[in-house]
Amino acid sequence: MKRTFTIFCLAILCACTNKYKEIENKTEDYALVPKPVELTTAKGRFPIGSGMSIFASPELQKEAEWFSQGITNLGGKPLQKTESASDADIVLQLDASIAHNEGYGLNVSYDNVRVTGKTATGVFYGLQTLLQLAEENEASTDLTVPAVTIKDHPRFAYRGMMLDVARHYFDVDFVKKYIDLIALHKMNRLHWHLTEDQGWRIEIKKYPKLTEFGAWRNGTIVDHFPGTSNDNTRSGGFYTQEQVKEIVAYAADRHIVVVPEIELPGHSGAAIASYPYLSCFPEEPTFVPNEMISDKSKELQASGTPKIVQESWGVYDDVYCAGKEETFKFLQDVFDEIIPLFPSEYIHIGGDECPKKNWERCPLCQKRMKEEGLADEHELQSYFVTRMERYLNSKGKQIIGWDEILEGGLAPNATVMSWRGEAGGIEASRQKHDVIMTPNSYVYFDYYQAKDTENEPLAIGGFLPLSHVYSYEPLSNELTKEEQKYILGAQANLWTEYIATPDYAEYMTLPRMTALSEVVWSPKEHKNWDDFKTRLPFMIEMLQDKGYNVSTEHINEPPKK
């Protein structure tokens, strides 16, 4: 009786799958972003329907669970685990013959699916592709996937997105949602900008005032810098160390490395507001341009509390004092708590936009320069960065810094993130330092998406249409082939001076992230703007179905000249 029932079930399953065997698929059925290296189409569709089974080797159990949940989220039926690859409808396995560490193979026929990868990361990307291909079938409740053979791998090793949570705080749920976006686009780094003049966002147990005071500001300017008024509204927030661990683990499950940024020596106003001794001049009040200071902060300064968390945007002279040993002790203590939270090989130390005026008039900084034989304040900044690099290297970490760390001499092992165009990245590559390209003219997602900004939300300025993001080429022609090897990849940055809500953050990010994903993943010879635009609507529909707020009105904006 049991054997008869089993044969009956198999007969039903064969009937269900055979009806998809001869289906002719359309070009739009394969509208993938980023575009794979190799894609071969075929007849037939695979139904991910009721009773379908999945096998995953022991190393791939998390990926199998993630994929099964993804199918359920799309409205498909739960997949049944099986212990035998030969009996499974969907098979996930490692394949040592795949050359690229993040590469994958995907084979779909009408009756089975096989996903392979050199590593679990590769298998995860194969599953992302499979989910992109899945769609509801008109004739049944099944999700179906068009028959296809794909061999794929990324062009660049570093494919990143930066989220600034220091200007405006975003809660844990949104950070996770942002991580999901990064994963969906087969990108692999979240650069998490955690400290600024306007807010300190991570719990440091040895220095509780960083979150008691530094995580909160008493007001924020209204409209463009320098503002028309102050909203007099307290705002802020921070992540506990347990929340940080939760976010890092969530990202790791999606094969994303979280790179924390702790700004130094500039952009340090929130730390100085918490511990004024870190400033060259602790008794001098925090300067807010055009007196756009909140009423609460005016009261504090009038009553003898000179330092406040900055309420305006821009760059400020009050930076970490390079002449005090206490400054370096503080930063080493901070990094001692940061390092265990982040498995990343990198820690970003900022290094950008550090005015030197306070150092020029600070006796302790001038004494430091004389003792160290430093010619000027640029060399003092190099001393500061190099000293912190030595400390972090001693703890097994490498540093990334913005391209200003080139000034005064580049720290020996530093990776340069080139934002003021590509010049810094080109120079660092020639010095045989690793580089991540993030030029503001191509990948600053806080810029406007339209030339006509009248109907756009307030943004920092600039014009960065989707087409211009897509046109970016990270490997500069000014570099030799040997020098180009130091370009690890590229990253887009979402600075949030004027981006205060998750909805607005998504609007500014999408679909520009989608364009960048193809820049950093797909072969250069595959890039074609007109072809990309034919595939983009399907990606936008997927993003909208997932609840993201996508900007769709500016896709045909002319490229930036």
Q: Where are the beta strands (DSSP E) in 33-103?
A: 38-48, 53-56, 80-81, 90-94
Structure tokens at 540: 């936008």
Does one domain contain both 136 and 177? no
Residues 91 and 217 reside in one and the same domain? no
Which DSSP symbol is given to 483? H
**Would 555 be classed as within a structural domain?**
no
Tell me what pLDDT residue 556 has.
82
Between CA 190 and CA 179 the distance in angstroms is 7
Are 496 and 428 in a shared domain?
yes
Mean pLDDT of 345-349: 98
Q: Are residues 186 and 142 in the same domain?
A: no
- Residue 11 is assigned to a structural domain of this protein: no
d(CA 434, CA 490): 12
Whole-angstrom distance, CA of residue 540 vs CA of residue 525:
24
pLDDT-derived band at 14, boundaries 50, 70, 90: very low
Say whether pLDDT at 448 is over 70: yes
**Assigned token pair, 221:** 């300017």
Average pLDDT over residues 96-125: 97
Residues 78 and 207 placed together within one structural domain of the fold: no
Taking a C-beta distance cutoff of 8 angstroms, is the pair 37, 152 a contact? yes
* Amino acid occupying residue 549: N
Do 140 and 188 lie in one domain? The reply is: no
Residues 523 and 151 sit within 8 Å (Cβ to Cβ): no
498 in any annotated domain: yes
Residue 4 in tokens: 């008869």
Higher-scoring residue by pLDDT: 59, 5: 59
User: Does 133 share its domain with 172?
Assistant: no
Q: Number of folded domains in the chain?
A: 2
pTM given for the model: 0.95
Rg of the Cα trace of the chain? 26
Residue 228 shares a structural domain with residue 108: no
Residue after which a domain boundary falls, among 152, 177, 211: 152
**Co-location of 101 and 194 in the same domain:** no
pLDDT per residue over 141-192, tens digit each? Answer: 678 999 999 999 999 999 999 999 999 999 999 999 999 999 999 999 999 9
Under the banding of pLDDT at 50, 70 and 90, the label for residue 138 is: low
Domain check: are 60 and 21 in the same one?
A: yes
Confidence band of 558 (pLDDT split at 50, 70, 90):
confident
| Joined tokens for residue 297 | 């902060």
Determine the length of the chain: 561
Q: Domain limits at 413?
A: 158-545
Q: Provide the pLDDT for residue 560.
A: 72
What pLDDT score was predicted for residue 180? 98
Angstrom distance (rounded) from CA 392 to CA 418: 21
User: Rounded CA gap, 413 and 343, in Å?
Assistant: 19
pLDDT tens per residue, range 461-503: 999 999 999 999 999 999 999 999 999 999 999 999 999 999 9
Helix (H) or strand (E) holding 531: helix 529-545
pLDDT at 423: 97
Tokens 């080797």 correspond to 57
pLDDT recorded at residue 13: 44
pLDDT digits (tens, 9 = 90+) for 502-538: 999 999 999 999 999 999 999 999 999 999 999 999 9
Q: What percent of the chain has pLDDT over 70?
A: 95
* Cα separation, 384 vs 160, whole angstroms: 27
Nearest partner of 277 among 324, 311, 310, judged by Cα: 324
Read off the CATH number of the domain in which 364 is found: 3.20.20.80
Tell me: do 325 and 386 sit in the same domain: yes
**Considering the domain boundaries, does residue 6 fall inside one?**
no
- CATH number of the domain at 42, please: 3.30.379.10
Residue 550 CA to residue 310 CA, distance in Å, equals: 31
Q: Is residue 248 part of a domain?
A: yes
Same domain, 130 and 185: no
Least confident range of 131-135, 137-141, 415-419, 425-429: 137-141
Instruction: Let me know if residue 63 belongs to a domain.
Output: yes
Let me know if residue 556 belongs to a domain: no
In this prediction, residue 557 carries a pLDDT of 80
Average pLDDT, the chain: 94
